[in-house]
Copies of this chain bind each other. A is one copy, B any other.
Amino acid sequence: MKFDPRHLEILAAIVDHGGLTEGAQVLGKSQPSVSRTLSQLEARIGAPLFQPGRRPLQPTTLGLALAEQGRAVLQANRTAGEIANRYRSGHSGLVRIGGTPIFMDGVLAPMIALFQQNVPDVRVDQSYGYADTLIEGLRSGRFDLAILPLQPDNVPDGLRFQPILPGRNVIACRTGHPLTRRRLVTLADIAEYPWIAPPTESPLYKDLHQALSRIGARDFRISFSGGSLASVIGVLAGSDSLTVLPYSVTFQMAPQNQITTLSLEIGHPDRHLGLLFMPGRDTSPATQRFRNFVVAQFEALSNRIARRRKEQLWR
């Protein structure tokens, strides 16, 4: 024998609220509607679910047993609603992000950790990639969100770019590096040190070349290249090599006291770090929540950077 689970729900409501009228109220239905459903149920089963001819409507044993199952249905329904609500409010779900490795490792990873402290049931799938890969991933729906440096006037068709930080690069070295003792670093000073180069596909790689050629450096020596941020930092901290890094990355890593920046101004690329996504596709609530969170975090980061600069100028 097969029931309509809604009928079991209704039975449970009647039993639990002691009467047809109250049960109907709780269910948000009219009393006659509930009454008829009950009649149908009893007719289907061929047995009374309530003592017949009793006005405060007392359930039979059978009625009680079935109401129990109705409660189970109600419960499952409720938790299903909960699950959906959590999803719709962005408290659970999946965010698939892609981004350039250095930013991902240096800036975003700590933010993801913070995000998941607030919203632990949102799973974040992170992938590495450079512009072309990321754009393709967004278009094909493999990513919900990409984070990468981009020229704001060069945004791919059909995608939206939300800048979050100006692309400002600096020359980084280990703390305690000989050059950090000098108040003013000249081109001649840096010439003798080897360089760590990012992977060739990385935009930073082009930045490095551009910056060095702009300040007139030529024939610089590359001692290490192609590593992730972790290996770059590892080599940097254990040698007197120099490298080019986004300022945001060095800023975020400042507390660890492993690396620092040289006070040699190099030109800034005309790119902005930002979030890229497809405005057409209906993004999941979790993704939206994550995007808002990242934007807010970068806002905060930007403020901290500005304050820091003001302090340095003041000194």
Return the contact of A94 from the options B61, B69, B76 (Cβ within 8 A): B61
Give the Cβ gap from A16 to chain B, nearest Cβ, in Å.
15
- Closest-by-CB residue of B relative to A12 is B76
Instruction: Report whether A76 and B77 are in contact in the complex, using a CB–CB cutoff of 8 Å.
Output: no
Question: Which positions 38-90 of chain A face chain B at CB distance < 8 Å?
Answer: 45-47, 52-53, 60-62, 65-66, 69-70, 72-73, 75-77, 79-81, 83-85, 87-88
| A141 vs chain B, min Cβ distance (A) | 8
A170 CB to closest chain B CB (Å) equals: 41
Interchain CB contact under 8 A, B2 and A77:
yes
A1 beta carbon closer than 8 Å to chain B: yes
Instruction: Write out the residue numbers on chain B whose beta carbons fall within 8 Å of the beta carbon of A8.
Output: 76-77, 80
Interface residues of A in 138-176 (CB under 8 A from B): 141
| CA of A285 to CA of B79, assembled, Å | 37
In angstroms, Cα B8 to Cα A25, docked, is: 24
Closest to A284 in B: B47
Q: Interface residues of A, CB < 8 Å — how many?
A: 41
> By CB atoms of chain B within 10 A, which of A65, A81, A93, A94 has the most?
A65
| A80 surroundings in chain B (CB, below 8 A) | 3, 8, 66, 69-70
A304 within 8 A of B: no
A77 → B minimal CB distance (Å): 5
- Contact A88–B4 (Cβ < 8 Å): no
Whether A87 lies near B5 (C-beta < 8 A) is no
Contact B77 A69 (CB under 8 A): yes
Within 8 A of B (CB), among A253-287: 282, 284-285
- Is A214 located at the chain interface by the 8 A CB criterion? no
| A123 at interface, CB cutoff 8 A | yes
CB-based contact A84/B61 at 8 Å: no
Max chain B Cβ within 10 angstroms of own Cβ: one of A2, A72, A84, A123: A84
* Given A61-B94, A76-B8: A87 and B3 interface contact (C-beta under 8 Å): no
A47 contacts which of B5, B52, B60, B87 (Cβ < 8 Å)? Answer: B87
Interface 1/0 per residue, A1-44 and B, CB below 8 Å: 11111101100000000000000000000000000000000000
- Chain A 84-102, CB within 8 Å of chain B: the 1/0 string? 1101100011100000000
**Top 5 A-B pairs, shortest CB-CB distance:** A72-B76, A5-B5, A69-B80, A69-B76, A1-B81
A-B contact pairs, 26 of them (CB 8 A): A1-B81, A1-B85, A1-B88, A2-B81, A3-B77, A3-B80, A5-B5, A5-B6, A45-B84, A45-B87, A46-B88, A46-B282, A47-B87, A47-B88, A47-B284, A47-B285, A52-B141, A60-B94, A61-B92, A61-B93, A61-B123, A62-B84, A66-B80, A69-B77, A69-B79, A72-B73
Chain A residues close to B by CB (< 8 Å)? 1-6, 8-9, 45-47, 52-53, 60-62, 65-66, 69-70, 72-73, 75-77, 79-81, 83-85, 87-88, 92-94, 123, 141, 282, 284-285
